[in-house]
Every structure is written in C-alpha cells, then in structure tokens.
Structure 1
C-alpha cells in the first residue's frame, strides 16, 4: 500500500470528528484482515507503544508498524509511552517503520526538544500527549511545534477505565492554549481513553477533533451505523 501524501494532515476532516482507530482493540490474531474490514471508515490508525516502565503495559513494536504500512494506506499515528532514555531511539525506529505522526509525552520533558528536533529532521509530524494527572499548562512551551495534542482521559496504558471527571474541562483548556498559540498550521486536539458511547458527545462538545476509538469501533454491532452516529456529532 502507498503511504499517505505529505498533505495528509491538511486533508483530515474539519466538519466532523476525525476517526482515529486504535490497533490495540483490533483482532491481533488476524490484524491485516481486521484492518481491511474497517479501512474505509478510518482517517488515522493509532498504534500504542509502551515499554513496561513509563506505562505498565508492553506494546507494540516497529516491525508491526512496518507490517501495517504494507496493508493500509491510512496515516499511522504512533503514541510512544516510553522512558526518556530510549525515546530518541524509538523515534528513529518507528520513523523507519513508516509512522506518519509520532507523539511523545510532555512528561518526557528532559528530551522533549531533542525529540521534536529529530521528528522535524525525519519529516515526521509531531504530537504530544498528557497523562490524566499532568497539568494542561505544561503543553504551552511546545504547542507551536506540534500537529496533534492528545489528552488522556484515563490512567496510562490500562484498558477499560471510566473517563476522568475533569476530561472535558482539560480539553477546553488545551483548546484555548492552541487557539492562543499563534500557530499558523493546524493543530488537532485529540481525546484518548474512556471513549464510550455516552462520553464521546461530551468530549466532542469540549473541543475534541478526534477521539481514539477502540472497542467502540472494532466491536460495534454495525460499524456503518456507529460511524454515521460519530460523524453526526
């Protein structure tokens, strides 16, 4: 499959929620087939990466992204949940594997600027993610260098949790920081974690331009109906 064009960020929808599908919720025993099943509904594929230190989970690896690149033409967003000591190496490996967007954490602040420099050198779009307990204000020094800002609504690296009660207010704060940044390029505001049928309208109303869809998409009784509902929000 060909990679997305260099203008893929500008091509993302502006009049509806961007559909970002998390591969963590796909059928991992038949990943290529499951991605093919949902491909026409996907705007961005989301791949979580965790080292077992920064986050309790251990997820996914560069060869998987390289494999996804072969079977999907959709932009690939790699979310790195890794320790500072390995962050730059991980960026190199996932850039080589075909990632179109790589998000580090604002909590990786000791190497954050070096990481953003590296992403710029590699021609990979940059994003940042904030843990649910991290003050939103900490994104401000970096925001003009980013294409995506993602706020976690649950504890990092753990499936199946309820949405934090402050998620909506945090999104509004992030939206205000983005709007006041003076950036001349598009910066997408994303919500990740606690994504359920009853929480998506709240997140959308608070300013989310995309939500990271896991079981809500992959386990939907009718994906066509689920996506029609999502696009109507």
Structure 2
C-alpha cells in the first residue's frame, strides 16, 4: 500500500495543532524536517516541536535530519518515541554506524541522498536499512519543482529491490503532487512525502481516497 506522509514544513505553523487534526485521517504519517542552516540553507524545527507534535497526534513520525553531525541528533532523538529517522549519506562519514544506532533502538532507519548524489553512494548500506528517501528537489525549502530525473533513481532502487529480493521502502520528497503521483508510484515508490500537496491541497480528501486504492 502507498503511504502518504505530511511534511509540516508547508503547514500553517501558527495553527499547527488544527492543521494536523484537519489532515490526520487522510494521511498515514507526519514528516518533520530538522534543518540546521549549515547542511542546508535554512533553519527549521528542533526537539521541542517534535514533542509538541507528539502531544497532538498519534500518527507515526519520521524525522528527516538535514544536519551536519547527525550522530548528535540521533542520540537525542532516541528519547522521543518516534518511528523513523532519515539520515543523509552526504552528512556523515559513518553512515553504517548511524544506521546501526537507530535500528538498535527499534526505530526505522532510512538513508537519503541529494539529487546530485549518485545511488552508488548508498549501495553498500542498502542491506542494513529499512528504506531509501529519494530527494526530488534540492533540500532546504518547501514548494520546489520536482526534478524529473528522480524517476530514474526510483526505478533503479525498485530494480535493485526486485533483483536481490529485498524489502526496503522507497520514499520520495520534493515537488510531489496530484499530477505526478501516479508516475512516481509506477516507478516503484511506496511513500509520498508531501508538504504543499497535503496542507495546501483543496482536493486532499479525494486524492487520499484515490491513493488508497493503489
């Protein structure tokens, strides 16, 4: 089944509780982008906001670390009862160690890579992870246009999965919306991370219903 993940970066943060309640029956999980202004050119959410989100929804939470020194943040996140941590391959020299730390604490470990990073960079850790997040925009800001070449990465990841009998998830984040969702799913993705496509979508209920039929 295809899952719909709501990126709160595009939500109305002045009314975040109401925003989450408005969409929580139409999506499957919450996506929180933690940005440090160094790995990406933006500052966003920290640990207090993660706690606040957990107080108002029971949906699973995926924390996407767009930070340098992700190991520090991973250690802190272990106390927050979240379901998934996503780490950039470009952000650490010790990706295997980071993945191991996450999984040892019964949290799903996803690895992600920027649009300009070849898939070969993550090939060695594929057997150890729960999923791959394909960044289909350059990370840092919501509302960017989907990079079409990302479809080839999704297809390659799906081919690897079929060829080697693996069962990792393939998530996609950046410029995902009603118009390109079918193409992305057909390429092999099973988690669609959407900000504007959820929180700014007047047709979210219809889109959610259609997605659940796939």
Counterpart of 2:53 in structure 1 is 68
Matched, 1:205 2:164: no
Matched, 1:117 2:130: no
Q: Is the 8 A contact 2:27 2:208 kept in 1?
A: no
Q: How does 1:25-36 map to 2 (within 5 A)?
A: 25-36=10-21
Q: Distance in 1 between matches of 2:120 and 2:92?
A: 13
Counterpart of 2:202 in structure 1 is 221
Q: Is the 8 A contact 1:65 1:98 kept in 2?
A: no
Picking from 122, 142, 154, the partner of 1:159 is 142
Q: Is the 8 A contact 1:217 1:226 kept in 2?
A: no
Q: How does 1:34-45 map to 2 (within 5 A)?
A: 34-45=19-30
Size of the aligned set, in residue pairs, is 214
Taking structure 2 as the reference length, what is the TM-score of the superposition?
0.93
Structure 1 residue 171: Cα displacement: 0.5
Counterpart of 1:148 in structure 2 is 131
Structure 1 residue 107: Cα displacement: 1.4
Moved segments of 4+, more than 6 Å: none
Q: Distance in 1 between matches of 2:197 and 2:75?
A: 32
Picking from 62, 79, 88, the partner of 1:96 is 79
Q: Distance in 2 between matches of 1:182 and 1:53?
A: 37
Q: Distance in 1 between matches of 2:90 and 2:161?
A: 18
Q: Distance in 2 between matches of 1:152 and 1:21?
A: 15
Structure 1: state its 5+ residue gaps.
1-13
Counterpart of 2:121 in structure 1 is 138
Structure 2: state its 5+ residue gaps.
none
Taking structure 1 as the reference length, what is the TM-score of the superposition?
0.86
Q: Is the 8 A contact 1:149 1:188 kept in 2?
A: yes
Q: Is the 8 A contact 1:66 1:98 kept in 2?
A: no
Structure 1 residue 131: Cα displacement: 0.5
Q: Distance in 2 between matches of 1:175 and 1:109?
A: 25
Query: RMSD over aligned Cα, in angstroms?
Result: 1.6
Structure 1 residue 40: Cα displacement: 1.0
Q: Distance in 1 between matches of 2:63 and 2:189?
A: 19
